[in-house]
């Protein structure tokens, strides 16, 4: 049995236990039917790891790398579909990992400054995907559509398996490197003087980002990954007063966005990814407004 | 505020060289930045390096730390090459980055200081030496604000927090690059006092780079004037005045002194090089 199915088997009774108090007409299916449960578990896992990454992406000034890598992974998905692969996400993982490594190297060797390397990979690989599909794949089918905008109900057991695997690896790695990552983000030179492996940790972080992005592709879609990767972490920074509290607030905002987004999309019959992104943005807007009203000039 | 303390040479009995630099030259992007540097620093010394912008001060520090490679010459810290494993926890670096920490970073003083305890052997462990952290926070006088987000601190407090981070490693040799930039006059005095105390009471050896000649002169025992090479190296009491400095540099002085009160000026009053 796959690890994904094991996790689902453990969580499924809990979801069923909660289901009687879940509001809505369609939304309770997420707690009772296996297909929907798989979607819910995936969405929650992805949100947790995206939030963890997001807090670091923000302070590393890499808010847009998620978007870039998501487009790269779309290129991977397109190639996989044309080749008739059964699990396109593995191709996406390969493509975005390679891109993440190359982007990291270009930035750290200062071959290209700032976001330029991200922009080039983003457009280049998206274009590769589109051209490949047009010539060999019969254009944008509904299958492709689900990778662009996310379709949580298309998450099959092999996708869930990959998502669970990525989540475990990301959580274990981030827990291990968190202090080193923080030290090398704040002051890379001081971290090197301390004897910390700044370069290696930066590279590992890039690879983990690529993995997280791939895990998100079916949940929110390549076009919307930033919604879960960056928005909750950015919202948390309005409220958190320490790095630790920001991590917690990020989870609060991320999980609220996902649950509320899934609820609204189920009840209003909209796409899940876009509704999650919209809710995340709305929460950001509300918290930001409160901040402006409360202390108009605190940063001055 | 700070008296010029002329230490009786109590260092004589601790003539242990911490840093030995011989014939060091460094080329950065095709340009010779420093050349033929000879420098020995003994345990317990407080050495100030001054020099105009682009004179190679930071380059010298970065080479000592092993972040930049020497093109010729050699550097030994505690008898080892820069960046070698047995220097772990012995040297610490306070960079200019303190004043430009990421603005969206939420980090408390305590969280920042804790990062200083990391080294090669404990970096994957979850346990942090609480006592070491407490002690460092205490030393830099930030106990009251230890749980405050560093973004809300004044420039002077933030710099203290960054120094606290350096102290948390229990390093004996501390290198500071322009720690006085962006700090108002009063905080600057108390920061210098802190460094002075660290040197005298806590037995630290300090190498500090600054372009604020007046400030550094109040505290350092020994001064180095660097402009591509070392043009002066000696006791602070015999550091040349500005006219003599101009002669050392081979130019005629234009303005001898900077007068007047700099209201909220980042550089503050003082002789600026």
| Residue pair B149/A242 in contact by the 8 Å Cβ criterion | yes
Long-range pairs for A129-133: beta carbons < 8 A, 24 or more residues apart: A129/A74, A129/A75, A129/A76, A129/A77, A129/A78, A129/A79, A130/A78, A132/A75, A132/A78, A132/A79, A132/A82, A133/A78, A133/A81, A133/A82
Q: Is A187 helix (H, G, I), strand (E, B) or coil?
A: coil
With CB atoms and an 8 Å threshold, state whether A190 touches B120: no
With CB atoms and an 8 Å threshold, state whether A193 touches B118: no
Q: Is A152 helix (H, G, I), strand (E, B) or coil?
A: helix
Q: Which residue of B has its CA nearest to A179?
A: B115
Q: Which residue of A has its CA nearest to B167?
A: A194
Measure CB to CB from residue B102 to each of A61, A191, A194 and give the nearest one.
Answer: A61
How far lies B106's CA from each of A102, A237, A290, B110, in Å? 29, 7, 19, 12
How long a stretch of residues is chain B?
273
**d(C-alpha B225, C-alpha B48), whole Å:** 9
How far lies A6's CA from each of A10, A173, A254, B182, in Å? 6, 21, 25, 56
With CB atoms and an 8 Å threshold, state whether B95 touches A244: no
- B104 min Cα distance to partner chain A (Å): 6
With CB atoms and an 8 Å threshold, state whether B115 touches A183: yes
Q: What is the three-state SS of chain B?
A: CCCCCCCCCHHHHHCCEEEEEEEEEEEECCEEEEEEEEEEEECCCEEEEECCCCCCHHHHHHHHHCCCCCCEEEEEECCECCCCHHHCCCEEEECHHHHHCCCCCCCEHHHHHHHCCCCCCCCCCCCCCHHHHHHHHHHCCCHHHCCCEHHHCCHHHHHHHHHHHHHCCCCCEEEEECCCCCCCHHHHHHHHHHHHHHHHCCCCEEEEECCEHHHHHHHCCEEEEEECEEEEEEEHHHCCCHHHHHHHHCCCCCCCCCCCCCCCCCCCCCCEC
pLDDT reported for residue A62: 86
**d(C-alpha A50, C-alpha A212), whole Å:** 6
Q: Is B153 exposed, middle or buried (0-12, 13-18, 19+ CB in 10 A)?
A: middle
What region does A129 belong to: left with phi over 0, alpha with psi -120 to 50, or beta? alpha
With CB atoms and an 8 Å threshold, state whether A195 touches B114: no
Interface residues on B facing A, Cβ-Cβ cutoff 8 A? 62, 65, 67, 83, 85, 87-88, 91-95, 97, 101-102, 104-108, 111-112, 114-116, 118-120, 123-124, 147-149, 165-166, 169
Q: Is A118 helix (H, G, I), strand (E, B) or coil?
A: helix
**d(C-alpha B208, C-alpha B222), whole Å:** 11
**What is the mean pLDDT for each group of 10 consecutive residues in chain A (300 residues)?**
89 94 92 93 96 92 90 93 87 95 88 82 91 80 81 89 95 94 89 91 95 93 91 94 94 96 94 93 96 66
To probe the interface with B, which of A110, A193, A198, A291 has the most B CB atoms within 10 Å? A193
- B225 min Cα distance to partner chain A (Å): 25
| Residue pair A228/A273 in contact by the 8 Å Cβ criterion | no
pLDDT reported for residue B242: 73
Q: Which residues of B touch A246 (CB under 8 A)?
A: 106
What dihedral angle (degrees, nearest 10) is formed by the CA atoms of A233, A237, A239, A243? Answer: 90
Crossing angle for the helix pair A65-82 and A116-132, to the nearest 10 degrees: 20
In CATH, the architecture of A3-294 is Orthogonal Bundle (1.10)
To probe the interface with B, which of A173, A180, A188, A190 has the most B CB atoms within 10 Å? A190
Task: For residue A270, give the DSSP letter.
Answer: -
With CB atoms and an 8 Å threshold, state whether A243 touches B108: yes
**d(C-alpha A155, C-alpha B110), whole Å:** 43
**d(C-alpha B60, C-alpha B73), whole Å:** 12
Cβ atoms < 10 Å from Cβ of A298 = 9
pLDDT reported for residue B54: 84
Instruction: Spell out the domain ranges in chain A.
Output: 3-294
Tell me the whole-structure pTM to 2 decimals: 0.85
Measure CB to CB from residue B123 to each of A179, A189, A237 and give the nearest one.
Answer: A179
pLDDT reported for residue B246: 76
To probe the interface with B, which of A195, A239, A241, A284 has the most B CB atoms within 10 Å? A195
**d(C-alpha B242, C-alpha A42), whole Å:** 69
Q: Which residues of B touch A240 (CB under 8 A)?
A: 106
**d(C-alpha A152, C-alpha A97), whole Å:** 23
Measure CB to CB from residue B65 to each of A176, A186, A193 and give the nearest one.
Answer: A193
List the pLDDT tens digit at each of the 273 positions of chain B.
444 444 444 444 557 899 999 999 999 888 899 999 999 999 999 999 998 888 899 899 999 999 898 999 999 999 999 888 888 888 998 887 666 677 678 899 999 999 999 988 888 887 778 899 999 999 889 999 999 998 888 888 888 899 999 889 888 999 999 888 877 888 888 888 888 988 988 889 999 998 888 888 888 989 999 988 998 888 888 888 777 777 777 665 455 444 444 444 444 444 555
pLDDT reported for residue B262: 43
Task: For residue A194, give the DSSP letter.
Answer: T
With CB atoms and an 8 Å threshold, state whether B120 touches A193: no
**d(C-alpha A51, C-alpha A251), whole Å:** 6
Q: Which residue of A has its CA nearest to B163?
A: A190
pLDDT reported for residue B12: 47
Q: Which residue of B has its CA nearest to A197?
A: B120
pLDDT reported for residue B83: 86
- A31 min Cα distance to partner chain B (Å): 36
Q: What is the largest CA-CA distance in chain A?
A: 59
- CA geometry: angle at B52 spanning B46 and B54, to 5°? 105
Crossing angle for the helix pair A142-149 and A198-220, to the nearest 10 degrees: 130
Model-level ipTM above the cut of 0.95: no
Instruction: Spell out the domain ranges in chain B.
Output: 14-106+170-249
Q: Which residue of B has its CA nearest to A180?
A: B123
How many A/B residue pairs have CB atoms within 8 Å? 89
The CATH class, in words, for B14-106+170-249 is: alpha beta
| Residue pair A218/B125 in contact by the 8 Å Cβ criterion | no
pLDDT reported for residue B261: 45
With CB atoms and an 8 Å threshold, state whether B97 touches A186: yes
Determine phi and psi for B46, rounding to 5 degrees: -120, 105
How far lies B223's CA from each of B64, B94, B146, B164, B173, in Å? 17, 19, 34, 24, 17
């Amino acid at each position: 049995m796959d690890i994904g199915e094991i996790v689902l088997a453990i969580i499924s009774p809990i979801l069923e236990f909660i289901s009687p108090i879940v509001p809505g007409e369609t939304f309770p299916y997420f707690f009772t039917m296996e297909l929907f449960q798989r979607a819910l578990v995936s969405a929650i896992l992805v949100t947790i790891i995206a939030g963890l990454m997001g807090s670091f992406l923000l302070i590393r000034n890499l808010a847009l790398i998620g978007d870039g890598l998501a487009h790269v992974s779309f290129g991977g998905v397109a190639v996989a579909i044309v080749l008739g692969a059964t699990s396109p996400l593995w191709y996406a993982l390969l493509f975005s990992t390679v891109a993440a490594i190359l982007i990291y190297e270009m930035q750290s060797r200062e071959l290209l400054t700032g976001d330029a390397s991200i922009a080039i990979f983003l457009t280049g690989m998206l274009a590769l995907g589109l051209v490949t599909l047009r010539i060999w794949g019969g254009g944008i089918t509904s299958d492709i559509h689900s990778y662009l905008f996310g379709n949580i109900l298309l998450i099959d057991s092999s996708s869930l398996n990959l998502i669970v695997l990525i989540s475990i690896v990301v959580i274990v790695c981030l827990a291990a490197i968190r202090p080193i990552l923080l030290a090398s983000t704040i002051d890379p030179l001081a971290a090197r003087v301390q004897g910390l492996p700044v370069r290696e940790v930066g590279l590992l972080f890039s690879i983990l980002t690529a993995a997280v992005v791939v895990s998100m592709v079916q949940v929110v879609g390549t076009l919307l990954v930033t919604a879960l990767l960056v928005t909750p972490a950015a919202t948390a920074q309005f409220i958190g007063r320490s790095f630790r509290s920001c991590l917690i607030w990020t989870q609060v905002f991320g999980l609220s966005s996902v649950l509320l987004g899934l609820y609204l999309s189920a009840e209003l019959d909209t796409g899940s990814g876009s509704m999650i992104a919209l809710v995340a943005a709305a929460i950001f807007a509300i918290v930001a407004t409160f901040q402006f009203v409360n202390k108009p000039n605190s940063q001055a | 505020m700070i008296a010029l303390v002329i230490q009786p040479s109590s260092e004589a009995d601790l003539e242990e060289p911490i840093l030995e630099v011989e014939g060091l030259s460094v080329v950065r992007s095709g340009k010779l930045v420093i050349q033929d540097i000879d420098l020995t620093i003994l345990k317990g010394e407080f050495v100030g390096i001054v020099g105009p912008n682009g004179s190679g001060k930071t380059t010298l520090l970065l080479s000592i730390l092993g972040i930049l490679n020497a093109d010729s010459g050699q550097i030994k810290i505690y008898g080892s090459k820069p960046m070698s494993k047995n220097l772990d926890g012995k040297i610490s670096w306070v960079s200019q980055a303190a004043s430009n920490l990421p603005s969206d970073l939420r980090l408390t003083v305590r969280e920042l200081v804790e990062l200083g305890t990391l080294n090669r052997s404990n970096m994957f462990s979850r346990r942090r030496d609480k006592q070491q952290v407490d002690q460092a926070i205490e030393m830099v006088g930030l106990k009251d604000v230890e749980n405050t987000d560093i973004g809300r601190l004044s420039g002077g407090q933030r710099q203290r927090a960054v120094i606290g981070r350096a102290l948390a490693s229990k390093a004996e040799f501390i290198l500071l690059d322009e720690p006085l930039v962006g700090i108002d006059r009063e905080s600057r005095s108390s920061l210098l006092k802190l460094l002075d105390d660290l040197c005298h009471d806590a037995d630290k050896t300090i190498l500090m780079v600054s372009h604020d000649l007046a400030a550094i002169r109040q505290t350092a025992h020994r001064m180095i004037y660097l402009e591509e090479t070392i043009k002066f190296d000696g006791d602070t009491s015999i550091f040349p005045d500005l006219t003599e400095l101009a002669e050392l540099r081979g130019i005629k002085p234009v303005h001898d002194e900077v007068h007047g009160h700099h209201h909220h000026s980042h550089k503050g009053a003082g002789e600026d090089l």
